[in-house]
Amino acid sequence: MPPNATSAHAGSPANLTVALTGASGIVFGQTLLRILDADSRVARIHFIASENSLRVLAEELGISGRSSLVEKLLGHASAKIAQHSENDVGAAIASGSYPSTGMIVMPCSMGTLAGIANGLASNLIERAADVCLKERRPLLLCLRETPFNQIHIRNMSLAAAAGATIFPIIPAFYNQPAGIDEMARQFVCRVLAHLGLPQPGAFIWKPDDLNPSST
């Protein structure tokens, strides 16, 4: 974690930014919001859904429209989640003076990666990410694309060199997930543990448990 980053381990409530962009795997972003909303260590969540993410939400989850989007994603209203338009570049999270624990983009499209890696700051998602980088706060980019071309790889390298963590959505199978929801939850738990917010019930690999007789 960057030296100036604020971690949940520091004792203060977390203040996070979560962005959904127009990449497949939107259920991972939904799961992230649900877990953060239920986590008492998280005081505030600034939520941004890109215009392109709305189409993916409709196609993959059957959720349509921007109105009451948080309630549609969670199944209930939330007092801790503030939804922002991606065009609202005057939002608090667009300023480095606003205290923040960090930002997660899940899923992160290649277009969003390109904008962040090249410092475009053309919308609130890119600007909030740029603020995290310049203030040396955690920025996790959960990418969804395959295969990668040379442009994707170059942009990942640029973003990582600037301080971002490249955290592709690659689900685990060693915990034998029963379905998509469990697979998404385990991945989200890994992301949050990386950010200093380990979750109860998360699967932890213990290879010795598979062969108790080994010495």
Q: Six-digit token pair at 127? A: 């600007």
**Going by CATH, does the domain composed of 10-210 fall within 3.40.50.20?**
no
Q: Summarize pLDDT for 47-99 with one digit per residue, the tens.
A: 999 999 999 999 999 999 999 999 999 999 999 999 999 999 999 999 999 99
Domain ranges, ordered by start, for the chain: 10-210
pLDDT score recorded for residue 44 = 98
What's the pLDDT band for 3 if we cut at 50, 70, 90?
A: very low
CB 131 within 8 A of CB 102: no
pLDDT digits (tens, 9 = 90+) for 107-155: 999 999 999 999 999 999 999 999 999 999 999 999 999 999 999 999 9
What per-residue confidence (pLDDT) applies to 211? 54
Global pTM reads 0.92
- Residue 212 has a CB neighbour count (10 Å cut-off) of 6
Which residues neighbour 214 within 8 Å (Cβ) at sequence distance 6 or greater? 208
Backbone φ/ψ region at 214: left (φ over 0), alpha (ψ -120 to 50), beta: beta
